[in-house]
Structure 1
Amino acid sequence: MSFRNLLLAYSGEAAFAASLAHSIKLAQHYDAWLTVIMRNGRSFFDRFGAGLSAALRDQLRRAEKSDTLTAIAQFETAVRAAGLADRARFIPPEELCDILPSELARHYDLVITGFQSDLVGEEHHVVSPDLIALRSGRPVLIVPENYSAPVLADHVLVAWDGKRAAARALGDAMGIIEGKRKVTLLTVGGRAPQTPIDGGILRHLERHGIAADHLHRSAKGRSIAAVIEDAADEVGAKLIVMGAYEHSKFSQDLFGGVTHEVLKTTRVPVFMSH
Structure 2
Amino acid sequence: MRIKNILIAHTGSSAFASSLDYAVKIAVRREAWLTAVYGNTNSYFDQVLELTPELTKKLGSVRADRIAQARELFESEVTAAGMSDRARFLMPEDVGKLSPAEIARHFDFVVTGFHPNRPADEYRAVSPDIIALQSGRPVLVVPEGYAATGLADHALVAWDGKRAAARALNDAMSVLEEKPRKVSVVTIGDLLRDTPAAISISTHLERHGVEANFIQVRDSGRDIARTIQKTADEIGAKLIVMGAYEHSKFSQDIFGGVTHDVVRFSSVPVFMSH
- TM class by smaller structure: over 0.9
Q: Which residue of 2 aligns with 1:14?
A: 14
Residues 210/192 of structure 1: CA separation in 2 closer, same or farther (3 Å cut): closer
The yes-or-no answer on 1:84 pairing with 2:105 is no
Q: Which residue of 2 aligns with 1:28?
A: 28
Q: Is the 8 A contact 2:109 2:138 kept in 1?
A: yes
Q: Please, what TM-score do these two structures have when normalized by structure 2? A: 0.92
Per-residue deviation, residues 184-235 of structure 1 (Å, max 9, x unmatched): 0100136763341415000110111111111011253431001111111111
Q: Hey, what's the Cα distance between the residues in 2 that align with 1:19 and 1:244?
A: 19
1:76: Cα distance to partner? 0.9
Q: Hey, what's the Cα distance between the residues in 1 that align with 2:243 and 2:48?
A: 37
Q: Which residue of 2 aligns with 1:260?
A: 260
Unaligned 5+ runs, structure 2? none
Q: Which residue of 2 aligns with 1:212?
A: 212
Q: Percent identity?
A: 52
Q: Hey, what's the Cα distance between the residues in 2 that align with 1:123 and 1:5?
A: 27
Q: Which residue of 1 aligns with 2:249?
A: 249
1:123: Cα distance to partner? 6.0
Unaligned 5+ runs, structure 1? none
Q: Is the 8 A contact 1:8 1:34 kept in 2?
A: yes
Q: Is the 8 A contact 1:160 1:186 kept in 2?
A: yes
Q: Which residue of 2 aligns with 1:101?
A: 100
Q: Please, what TM-score do these two structures have when normalized by structure 1? A: 0.92
Per-residue deviation, residues 147-173 of structure 1 (Å, max 9, x unmatched): 111010111110000111111110100
Residues 111/47 of structure 1: CA separation in 2 closer, same or farther (3 Å cut): same
Q: Hey, what's the Cα distance between the residues in 2 that align with 1:199 and 1:77?
A: 48
Q: Which residue of 2 aligns with 1:73?
A: 72
CA RMSD of aligned residues (A): 2.2
Q: Hey, what's the Cα distance between the residues in 2 that align with 1:153 and 1:50?
A: 43
Q: Is the 8 A contact 1:117 1:126 kept in 2?
A: no
Q: Hey, what's the Cα distance between the residues in 2 that align with 1:182 and 1:19?
A: 22
Runs of 4+ in structure 1 deviating by more than 4 angstroms, as ranges, are: 43-47, 116-125
Give the SS at the match of 2:194.
coil
